[in-house]
Amino acid sequence: MSKIATITLNPAIDLTVRADHFQTNTVNRGQEMQLDAGGKGVNVASFLADYGHASAVTGFLGRDNAAIFEQLFAQKRIEDAFIRLPGQTRTGIKVIDEAQQQTTDINMPGLQPSASEIEQLHTRIQQLAKTCDWFVLAGHLPPGVPITFYATVIEQLKQQGKNIVLDSSQAALRAGVQVGPTIIKPNIDELQQLVERPLHDELSIEQGARQLLRDTTQLVVVSMGEHGAMFVDQHTTLIAEPLAVNVKSTVGAGDAMVAGLIAGLSEGLPLTECARLATAFSAGTITRIGPHLPAQHILREYAQQVQVRTLQPTFGVVGE
């Protein structure tokens, strides 16, 4: 199986607090609390490791509180290629209300790397390119990093024949899309920003996704929350329906979908089966807190239960 590298410039330690019937502007009683190493690329690598895939991680970590990340990487045998920065990696607070099936996020800004540290990261990515076939570029950019960072990395990796997944937002996502990563994974809000129009139904979402299929971009996956996910390539539009599971936290559900998709593609599965596996990964992680999956046999059972249907594609908008 292919080795997969994830790039996370702005990781976070996730402080998850369960507080049922959470209300603002008052005192809330918590039921449990948990600390996890987090960040989109870290989550993807953790899920892939749970499924048995070799993975590596890089980006920027604060030196002062790196231990929780190092413990995760050692436990799951994930290659640690992070650049250490002075200071502490940011903390993200997640308030989980299981009773109302709601999650509230409070995200802090990240550490700002220097120009030399950014250059060091470019070098580290090139070193990983010697052994990794897939790269996942995930999450927000921290302060001080050019919005073209992902675009630059995508262009360099494309020249080396690598498969690249882009899962970011705002200006960094827009700049990265322009240079044609292999796969783009926006949610509906991010897709609306990219195509600059509202997307109200499945057909409009499909048309918006199809606009991004240009240059070397082969697949667009749109996460649609409770409505599942849409998988759009040059020939097919599939919709994978979500599974009904006991939701503990929706944090990391999109990252699990990316991991499941790459796991399927790297194993040579057809798109329909990749959609099932990606949805199974997502269902598996929302049944627990933290970047962890259930056992493989449970994931396979989930995948068999996923309903995938075909949406008639509207090919006329390609390249608009």
Q: Which of 36, 50, 233, 255 is catalytic?
A: 255
Do 249 and 16 form a contact (C-beta atoms < 8 A)? Answer: yes
| Two structure tokens written together for 185 | 């994974």
Residue 255 designated active-site: yes
d(CA 58, CA 106): 24
| Cα dihedral 191, 262, 137, 73 sign | positive
d(CA 239, CA 221): 10
Judged by DSSP in three states, 262 sits in helix
d(CA 82, CA 156): 19
| Two structure tokens written together for 109 | 């800004």
Judged by DSSP in three states, 2 sits in coil
- ∠ Cα 105 107 111 (to 5°): 165
Residue 84's alpha-carbon distances to 87, 92, 113, in angstroms, are 9, 19, 10
Judged by DSSP in three states, 67 sits in helix
Please give the positions annotated as active site.
255
